[in-house]
Structure 1
């Protein structure tokens, strides 16, 4: 089993719906599927249409560490890679859920940060989880059913912090999240906005959904 690789990222290949990192380690090029949001993609590309596209990563020439999960099938081997051991471990827990394959687990980790995804599962927030492409209500409920308890324990032992929402009333937070999701904002953007706006004393004094939504939209438009 390969726990991690450390090498030079020489290419990022888009093979819809997959994103593959070519990592050179001591003269050997490893193909590692990664969450698309992990490594930044520059503007220069090779390829056209809807097929394969190849990018030179912006941090080429800099060694990076990739924590890997190795999946062996009858006809080939696949390596999945993540920036931290915790994300790799969460991926392993996700693919252990009934009906959750590697691509759906990658999609979940690509939609949310580690802290956000764990919090959404523990807090049974199906409305947030279904924002992930390919995840419907029943799938979200199954993930929660099978992982809620063990992720609650794992978050403590792995010292994974909860997203800082500062004790915002859950009803208000849900209204804010659903409204912003409907407006097209990404879950990661929304949680970042809520965390930032908790520092605003005016919102703490007058915690209404409308004020939080207006403030969040204003902050997001400036970010």
Structure 2
């Protein structure tokens, strides 16, 4: 029903761990739930007009607008919620944890371990997502302009386990940890480094600047 909105950011509020963007469009404020990684990119003090690609969900008890920074992310969200058992919050969590390109990469390659890094997504759910969307996304990602060759290489399982345990012990959330891993894993030099201490140091440096 609504493909996108163009308006000015009025506010971003957190309600039940959900990021709600208040977007003013022609003197009307729309409440739009957005991924947290998108919320962090927005400047609530900016008066410039932004474009939000939206999905309008109608339920018996409520109508909800979901918003995304690019159309491809919105379209991926729609494909996820079309899977039986995948609700809108699980779809948002998948996008939030892995990001658009990494999520497509994980589904197309059947990387169940990476998919299960998302809070609330277990082994069976991850397998169902990969099974139902692998072929569809292999074709769709080309028209969407998503190049899988740019996706990072994850550290080996032992480094990953130690890294996650250390960061959890320091008080970081699983979502923050996966975002840090997603970013630092793109460092070509770090990919070749077998010392977990360097991975931890880089992750903490990233999180210190972005949390």
What's the TM-score bracket when you normalise by the shorter of the two chains? 0.7 to 0.9
Q: C-alpha offsets along residues 57-89 of structure 1, whole Å, 9 cap, x if unaligned?
A: 534422111000011223432111001101101
Q: CA deviation at 1:165?
A: 5.5
Q: C-alpha offsets along residues 114-152 of structure 1, whole Å, 9 cap, x if unaligned?
A: 111111112222222112111111111111111111111
Q: CA deviation at 1:186?
A: 1.6
With over 3 angstroms needed to count, the CA separation of the structure-2 counterparts of 1:68 and 1:165, relative to structure 1, is closer
Correspondence for 1:127 among 110, 113, 116: 113
Q: C-alpha offsets along residues 97-126 of structure 1, whole Å, 9 cap, x if unaligned?
A: 110011110111111211111111122222
Q: CA deviation at 1:175?
A: 4.2
Alpha-carbon distance in structure 2 between the residues aligned to 1:77 and 1:21:
15
Alpha-carbon distance in structure 1 between the residues aligned to 2:127 and 2:11:
37
Alpha-carbon distance in structure 1 between the residues aligned to 2:19 and 2:103:
20
With over 3 angstroms needed to count, the CA separation of the structure-2 counterparts of 1:117 and 1:178, relative to structure 1, is farther
Report whether the alignment pairs 1:107 with 2:93: yes
Alpha-carbon distance in structure 1 between the residues aligned to 2:140 and 2:156:
25
Q: Which has the higher helix share?
A: 2
With over 3 angstroms needed to count, the CA separation of the structure-2 counterparts of 1:84 and 1:158, relative to structure 1, is same
Q: Check whether the contact 1:163–1:195 (CA below 8 A) recurs between aligned residues.
A: no
Q: What SS does structure 2 have at the residue aligned with 1:21?
A: strand
- Structure 1: state its 5+ residue gaps: 43-56
Q: Check whether the contact 1:116–1:163 (CA below 8 A) recurs between aligned residues.
A: no
- Structure-2-length-normalised TM-score: 0.82
Alpha-carbon distance in structure 2 between the residues aligned to 1:220 and 1:129:
20
1:48 alignment counterpart: none
Alpha-carbon distance in structure 1 between the residues aligned to 2:156 and 2:143:
27
Report the number of matched residues.
198
- Structure-1-length-normalised TM-score: 0.78
Give the alignment of 1:42-121 within 5 angstroms.
Answer: 58-121=44-107
Q: Check whether the contact 2:19–2:33 (CA below 8 A) recurs between aligned residues.
A: yes
Q: Output the aligned Cα RMSD.
A: 2.5
Alpha-carbon distance in structure 2 between the residues aligned to 1:99 and 1:147:
14
Q: Check whether the contact 2:108–2:135 (CA below 8 A) recurs between aligned residues.
A: yes
With over 3 angstroms needed to count, the CA separation of the structure-2 counterparts of 1:41 and 1:100, relative to structure 1, is same
Q: What SS does structure 2 have at the residue aligned with 1:30?
A: strand
Report whether the alignment pairs 1:16 with 2:12: no
With over 3 angstroms needed to count, the CA separation of the structure-2 counterparts of 1:128 and 1:183, relative to structure 1, is farther
Alpha-carbon distance in structure 2 between the residues aligned to 1:15 and 1:163:
37
